[in-house]
């Protein structure tokens, strides 16, 4: 069995933040996204000062706030956009306000950001898992979860490891420490484990609270042969994300 998170491949994935500047579009009503919410808001507020009557800036900021699950902020900016557009219906702002209310009633994992912590190979025996499969699957799963409106972000794990004395008792304990250090409520990680069937493995998505309690666990079964190349990663990542989404929606209802 491999060790918990500190030595797995996902630690080598670049997590560099994009530079936050105004876009070069002619309308100049939006900012490039940053991994820092406060910096993004600051950029938009600078645009607001330059164009105080442009309702599109407030609307763009409302969308950003919703993406970060800042519901109160999103409502504030959407209403601000609606009020600024006195001579139009501003259907976009009205639709956004409706979407915010719908999102607030969903399972917490649809509106509380979870740290995406990568994949751990827990197989007892040595069988070949292509590094390209591992890294490609992680990226594909991250994208698939976001497409399901599950709020996942990639914390700066290397920095957290440098600053925090992580518990190494188990993968769940390590995930809990990283989640807490990142200031998040949930952490998500994936394990690869062998089954009683010689040709298959179980790929399991675990969700852990900052308290250390695993609250969700879903899995798919794939063949060991698939781990030898990255051809199936997008399909398998989408499959696992769909199973997770259905589980969350079922528990919400």
Determine contact, residues 187/120, Cβ cutoff 8 Å.
Answer: no
Terminal-to-terminal C-alpha distance of the chain: 38
Q: Which domains does the chain have, with CATH numbers?
A: 37-105 (1.25.40.10), 109-252 (3.40.50.10610)
Two structure tokens written together for 248: 């969350």
Using one digit for the tens of pLDDT, what is the confidence trace for 96-144? Answer: 888 888 777 666 666 677 889 888 877 665 555 677 788 889 999 999 9
CA distance 219 to 75: 36
The model's pTM is: 0.58
Determine contact, residues 252/232, Cβ cutoff 8 Å.
Answer: no
Which residue reads 């827990």 in tokens?
122
Find all residues with CB under 8 Å of 33, minimum gap 6, and list them.
18, 20, 40, 64
pLDDT band for 65, please (50, 70, 90 cuts): confident
Two structure tokens written together for 160: 């957290």
Two structure tokens written together for 120: 């751990």
What is the residue-averaged pLDDT of the chain? 77
Considering only CA atoms, give the Rg of the chain.
21
């Amino acid at each position: 069995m491999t060790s918990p998170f500190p030595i797995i491949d996902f630690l080598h994935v670049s997590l560099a933040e994009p530079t936050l500047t105004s876009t070069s579009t002619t309308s100049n009503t939006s900012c490039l996204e940053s991994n820092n919410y406060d910096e993004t808001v600051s950029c938009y507020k600078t645009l607001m000062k330059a164009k105080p009557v442009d309702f599109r800036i407030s609307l763009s900021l409302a969308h950003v706030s919703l993406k970060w699950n800042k519901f109160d902020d999103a409502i504030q900016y959407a209403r601000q956009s609606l009020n600024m557009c006195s001579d139009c219906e501003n259907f976009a702002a009205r639709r956004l306000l409706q979407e915010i209310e719908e999102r607030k009633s969903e399972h917490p994992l649809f509106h509380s950001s979870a740290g995406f912590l990568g994949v751990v190979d827990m197989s007892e025996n040595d069988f070949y898992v292509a590094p390209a499969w591992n890294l490609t699957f992680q990226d594909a799963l991250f994208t698939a979860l976001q497409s399901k409106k599950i709020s996942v972000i990639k914390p700066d794990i290397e920095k957290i490891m440098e600053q925090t004395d992580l518990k190494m008792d188990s993968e769940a304990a390590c995930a809990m420490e990283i989640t807490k250090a990142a200031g998040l409520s949930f952490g998500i990680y994936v394990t690869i484990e062998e089954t009683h069937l010689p040709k298959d493995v179980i790929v399991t998505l675990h969700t852990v609270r900052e308290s250390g309690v695993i609250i969700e666990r879903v899995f798919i079964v794939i063949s060991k042969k698939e781990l030898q190349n990255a051809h199936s990663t997008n399909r398998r990542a989408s499959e696992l994300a769909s199973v997770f989404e259905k589980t969350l929606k079922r528990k919400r209802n």
